[in-house]
Amino acid sequence: MIPSEIIEKKRDGKNLSPNEIKWFIESLVNNRIDNSQLSALLMAIYFRGMDDKEMFALVEAMVESGEKFDFSYLGSYIADKHSTGGVGDKISFILAPILSSLGIVVPMIGGRGLAFTGGTIDKLESIPNFQTSLSLNKFRKQVETIGCCIASQSSEICPADKTLYSIRDLTGTVPSLPLICSSIMSKKIAEGLNGLVIDLKVGNGAFMKTLSDAKKLALGLKKIGKAFNINTEVLYTNMNQPLGKYAGLHCEIIEAIDCLNGKGSDDLMEISYELGSKILLQSRTATDKKTAKKLMQEAINNGTALNKFKEIISAQNGNIKKLALDHVVSKNEIIIEAEDDGIISSIETEKIGWTLVEIGCGRKMEKDKLDYTAGIEFINKIGDKVNKGDPIFRIFGNDIKRLNNAKTLLKKAYTLVKTEVLKDELIIN
């Protein structure tokens, strides 16, 4: 087959055959397709879409590009959680150890930052010495030993998706339904899951800006889940403002630890409990949502969830002692103050996300180095009353020039009104 012919076929709106898709993905993994050809096909898919048959073929080809896990011999429920990407979203670091401490096996393959959204793997790599790129055997052994592992794709685990993921981020093809669905589900199928819960973000800080678009994505994810025998549930959550008190890299790890210490903000814990309840009900660990939430709260209160997170960090060579004493020290910080009296009525969350990229928490180019000390603190959020001069955001990081650029962006990232503001529901029904 000839790559350009496959690209032209999709460009012209024709459906690709399973063999064409399989050949293209195999050629990509074997370095017979270059990034320019891949970029062209991704852009063609972005504009022309894929039908179900094409999407299932793409998922299967991506799964078959690497090794697959089978943890059924462990005799436990195998489950994972996935977020479609938000700002300040550190729920994986809260939920994975909670579920694992309750006997659920969690083999989590995470991703790096995409566009304006933060990446699970980038955040974990802010932990001194933490290893995210693991061999198949090490990943399997850690899951067998402690019941949970959070790692990136490697040459053995979904290598095709790893390449597609990085090129999508650089070519403006992130918000493509078939590409999002295939990326998410290929990794989850490779994990050998029984169950999956998806935190599908909706709002101005998500890829899906409307509930209508989110439901289209959910339909694709559920179709793939059904086709590959994974119990897949979707929770729609509000991303019209950042989650929690911080967004960035290492600051989010520290906030997740605060949550596991029982000091989590209401929004983070509400979503964590709602997602976790679905898995505990799927696995029959709990018989109703109230019992499921109680089990998770007990795992936090008795310290088993936090100990599990420490166990995960230690198993992946992370420096626990340094982390325990660490409170993200940056060379510089700037406070963004309210320019008038009023109540915060809205926050441009996507702009917050791009501001994080600007200060070094995300990549503009593939080879960009991240600033693990950088981040934003949300001192006031939607519905909060502020007076002129009160702090709204605190930005911090090592590069003062980038922080000053970010300050200009953040000054325009919120709106003040004089009348009372009703907060949106966090869980969207």
Active site residues: 82, 161, 168, 183, 187
End-to-end, the C-alpha distance of the chain in Å comes to: 46
Cα angle: 58, vertex 64, 65; to 5 degrees: 90
- Buried b / exposed e over 345-373, threshold 16 CB at 10 Å, is bbbbbbbbbbbbbbbbbbbeeeeeebbbb
Tokens for 429?
Answer: 């029904």
**H or E stretch covering 59:** helix 52-64
Adjacent-strand bridge partners of 428: 236
**H or E stretch covering 97:** helix 91-101
Using CA atoms, how far residue 165 sits from 30, 106, 182, 254, 281, in Å, is: 17, 22, 10, 27, 32
27: phi then psi, degrees, rounded to nearest 5: -65, -35
Positive/negative CA dihedral, 232, 238, 244, 246: positive
Distance between CA 205 and CA 221 in Å, rounded? Answer: 20
Q: Are 336 and 148 in contact (CB under 8 A)?
A: no
